[in-house]
Amino acid sequence: MAMTMTGEATLPAGRPKVWALLNDPEVLKACIPGCESLEKTGDNGFAAVVKTKIGPVSATFRGKVELSDIVPLVGYTIKGEGEGGVAGFAKGGAKVSLADAPGGTLLRYDVEATVGGKMAQLGSRLVDGVAKSMADKFFGSFAALAAAAGAEAEASQSAAEAVAAKAAPQSQEPAARPAASIQPPAAARPAQAASPANTSWFRRIWEWFMSLWR
């Protein structure tokens, strides 16, 4: 049974950060519902173990994933296949592309997949519903991680700018003006001697005043 699915999501982070997350096995493992392991097997290959349930059928799929048509910061094609024992098999591919968007990065995906075995007998509506639910969970988790990474990057940039601002040479203080000559307070200054003219005038007044009482 074949199925197709398309969708897009706006992620609150720049393209370089989103691209790095799309190529981080730990991030992908954390976002893929039911993923128990995802390990690199080469430059562009991964080995995956995913446990899932479709209706009454539960299965653990073991498979491989390969990346191709890689254009850094723009997108790639991902192809994979897995075996789930009696539950059946799944294989397919997806084209993932990135573009700038207001407030972040627009991620688009086009998926084509084929499932067989017991899963295919459950009906396309059920299988399509489960596939869409898994895609929604994946991109919901991925968007949350991208938002956290974007916030961390902004915090790091702000901290770096603050450090740079502190390290920048400060404007020089204006040259100190020469200190004015320091005068001792009036109480500390020696009393000035009375002028001879003032003394003579005061004495004459005093003698005249005393003569009135003689």
pLDDT of residue 127: 75
95-101 contacts at long range (C-beta below 8 A, 24 or more positions apart) = 95/69, 96/22, 98/15, 98/18, 98/19, 98/73, 98/74, 100/15, 101/10
Q: What is the CA radius of gyration of the chain?
A: 43
Highest mean pLDDT among 16-25, 50-59, 161-170 belongs to: 16-25
Mean pLDDT of 102-129: 83
pLDDT digit string (tens) for 23-63?
999 998 998 888 899 998 988 899 999 988 877 888 888 99
The CA distance from 82 to 91, in Å, is 6
pLDDT at 143: 85
Q: Where are the domains of the chain?
A: 2-157
3-state DSSP assignment of residue 39:
strand
**Mean pLDDT in residue range 192-199:** 48
pLDDT value, residue 187:
47
Instruction: Report percent pLDDT > 70 for the chain.
Output: 71
Name the band, by pLDDT with cuts 50, 70 and 90, for residue 159: low
- CATH number for the region 2-157 comes to 3.30.530.20
- Report the chain's terminal Cα–Cα distance, integer Å: 147
pLDDT digits (tens, 9 = 90+) for 23-33: 999 998 998 88
pLDDT at 100: 95
Backbone angles phi, psi at 126, to 5 degrees: -70, -45
Cα torsion through 55, 60, 64, 70, rounded to 10: 50
Least confident stretch, 115-119, 149-153, 200-204: 200-204
| pTM of the complete model beyond 0.75 | no
**Under 8 Å between Cβ of 42 and 70:** no
Query: Measuring CA to CA, how many Å separate 130 from each of 4, 85, 99, 123?
Result: 13, 19, 28, 11
